[in-house]
Amino acid sequence: MSARSTPIVHIETFGCQMNESDSELVRAMLKREGFAFTEDRERADVVLVNTCAIRENAHNKVYAHLSEMRSLKKHRPLVVGVLGCMAQNLKSELAQKEPLVDVLAGPDAYRQLPKLISTALESQEQGFSQKAFALDLSEYETYEGVLPDRESGVNAWITVMRGCDNFCSFCVVPYTRGRERSRDPQGILAEAQDAAARGFPQVTLLGQNVNSYRFDEWDFAKLVEAVADQPGIERVRFTSPHPKDFPQALIEVIAAHPNVCKHVHLPLQAGSDRILDLMGRTYTGAEYLALVDRIRASIPEVVLTTDIICGFCSESEEDFLETYCMMERVRFDSAYIFKYSERKNTIAARKYPDDVPEEVKGARVARLVDLQRRITLERHRGFIGRDMAVLVEGDAARSANQGMGKTDGNITVVWDKGPEPFVPGRLVTKRIVAANAATLYGA
């Protein structure tokens, strides 16, 4: 870095929880090298956009932000960096078609960011623009030894593994984040201890497929139990598991351990065996239902959520109706429902035409959203009259006179504040007095 004043960085994060966690790693590594951070983009010398490549909407948001930065860069020196999955997947396009981008760094190259940014800053000071790119995937990088720079809150994201070996045909993650590799459990436990010491009562363990976690004799069930046993950790969550290898041992840990949350996010993606096979999901609808039954038999109070893709390649009305019927059968507590959008370099993009019309995709999404809203409302109304433990997160979105928090099952609860102390991070008991499809209301 040159003798210039301390460079000020602004980072914007799009996409999944893994990207949130990665941004915390980036902040930690840059601060260690003398960079400062600001929430105000107008004050920044460097703007980093940490991107997602999973869905088209995320791409569009990133390109919109880059367009906004064009005008900023016309009026003052500014280094613009694109990080993460989109940088990895669209490296040629971004390098050639987005001249305002000075730095590109893939998810395995964040240790190189201080040098990349310094190179770009120094070239600007000298009156020219030198691009700085690092986009190699690693078989080993887990950022061990880097303690994330976490912002205040009640939840600490802890990445336990990186990459994915599943190669679902619709998914770009194996190409943008590389192959699976698991972190040393002792490093994970140390990070959980640090989070608890800093006042985070909840940790969420992250991985593209957490139940593939393996390190020597450690599997994911053993890791979850060990994290839950750390003093000061009130709640442990994890996301996301894959239905193909959800072990009985993990179900037993969730059922037996009081501070492992009784919430399982179990991506279904489709209810049709034909579509599941085209997607490369490696399970059938019957196998998925058997897993749901096993989970509910051991954890009767479990909250089940899922992901659904509508309009995957060649999806017929009959295929769609199988998904619809599966959702009626399982009765998820909530579902994230998306239109299929083809991602560059995936198996599906190479092998199958994206042949379901957009209006059909949209109509199918609307039908599933309507069904899920009705199911969620019915399930939420079942909580009325019950006392529930709620982890206080902060003020409700609509009024500072109301508090907001989450149940063990990750359902939002809102209540009117009273004379008692209001302390984010504290577990409180609320009696549920009303409910809609989005929220429980407590007293």
Closest C-alpha among 217, 261, 259 to residue 239:
261
C-alpha distances out from residue 172 to 72, 167, 412, Å: 31, 8, 31
Q: Which amino acid is at 371?
A: L
What is the DSSP track for 185-241?
HHHHHHHHHHHHHTT--EEEEE-TTGGG-EETTEEHHHHHHHHHTSTT--EEEEE--
Please give the Cα distance from 112 to 134 (Å, whole number): 7
Residue numbering of the annotated binding site for [4Fe-4S] cluster: 16, 52, 85, 164, 168, 171
What the block records as the tokens of 272 is 């049709």
Report the alpha-carbon distance of residue 371 to residue 349 in Å, rounded: 30
Are the C-beta atoms of residues 140 and 181 closer than 8 Å to each other? yes
| Whether 161 contacts 147, CB under 8 Å | no
Contacts of 342 (CB under 8 A, 6+ apart): 348, 349, 354
| Binding site per annotation, positions | 16, 52, 85, 164, 168, 171
Q: What are phi and psi of 214, to 5 degrees?
A: -150, 130
CA distances (Å), 330 to each of 112, 171, 262, in order? 46, 24, 16
- CA angle (432, 435, 441) in 5-degree steps: 45
